[in-house]
Amino acid sequence: MLSLALACTTAQAATTGVALVHGTGSQTDAYNDYWQAAMVEGVRNGLTDRSNLLVVNCDFNQYMWDDRAAGCLAGQLTSFIQNRHIDRLIVVTHSNGGNVMRWILSNPTWDARYPAIISRIAKVDALAPSSAGTPLADAVIAGNVFESALGWLLGYKTDAVRQQQVGWMAVYNQQYLLGTGGRPALPVPFRAVVGTDVVSGFWSSQAYCGGYSQSVGLEITQNWLSSCSDGFIECSSASAAGTVWFRDTQKTGGSVLNHNQSRRACFGLESILANDIGG
């Protein structure tokens, strides 16, 4: 009974924090430009102390191990953990942010800050992670021309785009990253949220959440992908590392999450994440 009481006291005393880690791109105001307020504040609602939320801003146009990418992320997470006295950290990533986070989790000796970060992480909720890359990265590097709507997704021939080519990610997964088939498990739960389709019909209210033009652009890019994709990441890639937490329609009342919508307050996603913080 005494042991149980002590365990309960320790659990109650733990300070929980959430870090939102953006995807490809160089961010200086990810709160407004990447996630937007409705998503951030919706997730924040799950915290007992609403101040214990970090919105990361780093240069994820770089290779995941680059100091401007993983180094920047490690620095911001370390400061957040120390300044807010975080004992239990939940990391919410989107797209390529899952790869940068997985680099830190897979390579604890790379940077002296990594072990302390890993020891605080309770779980990583990876929204539409590009764990096995995307054929769109191959197409961009090969010089294929896409609609201008793709610019916000990938940019143009950055190191991060090169990294997300399917063959390149296969090598990284085999040699440098944990959590995929045949590799050792990651040291913390890495749970993927998988987007399965794109709805862009002007008659459908689903197409307008997050921006109608983005839904149309993702419908176009889906032509380069398998039938199960969010317009940017194929379901097989999003499911390649860790475990699948859920496929979009399983928790959204039947609505699909395209790649843009999976970083937005669409179909209750922000509440799903908020409600999961205590779990």
**Each residue's pLDDT tens digit, 18-35:** 999 999 999 999 999 999
User: Is residue 204 domain-resident?
Assistant: yes
What is the CATH number for 248?
A: 3.40.50.1820
* Mean pLDDT (whole number) for 101-128: 98
Of 118, 97, 98, 121, nearest to 18 by C-alpha is 121
* Mean pLDDT (whole number) for 95-109: 98
User: Is residue 50 domain-resident?
Assistant: yes
Of 211, 162, 166, nearest to 33 by C-alpha is 211
Helix extents (H) in 31-181: 37-44, 72-84, 97-106, 114-120, 135-141, 151-154, 159-163, 166-175
pLDDT of 112 higher than 70: yes
pTM score above 0.75: yes
pLDDT category at 153 given cuts 50, 70, 90 is: low
Share of the chain above pLDDT 90, in %: 82
User: Is residue 127 domain-resident?
Assistant: yes
User: Is residue 82 domain-resident?
Assistant: yes
pLDDT of 9 higher than 60: no
Q: 123-137, 143-157, 221-235, 262-276: lowest mean pLDDT where?
A: 143-157
Domain region containing 205: 14-276
pLDDT category at 217 given cuts 50, 70, 90 is: confident
User: Is residue 5 domain-resident?
Assistant: no
Instruction: Specify the number of domains making up the chain.
Output: 1
Helix extents (H) in 85-229: 97-106, 114-120, 135-141, 151-154, 159-163, 166-175, 212-221
* Mean pLDDT (whole number) for 71-97: 98
* Mean pLDDT (whole number) for 1-9: 49
Amino acid at 141: I
At 12 the pLDDT is: 53
3-state DSSP call for residue 41? Answer: helix
Summarised one tens digit per residue, pLDDT across range 249-259 is: 999 999 999 99
User: Is residue 87 domain-resident?
Assistant: yes
User: Is residue 6 domain-resident?
Assistant: no
Place of tokens 């090598």: 171
User: Is residue 200 domain-resident?
Assistant: yes
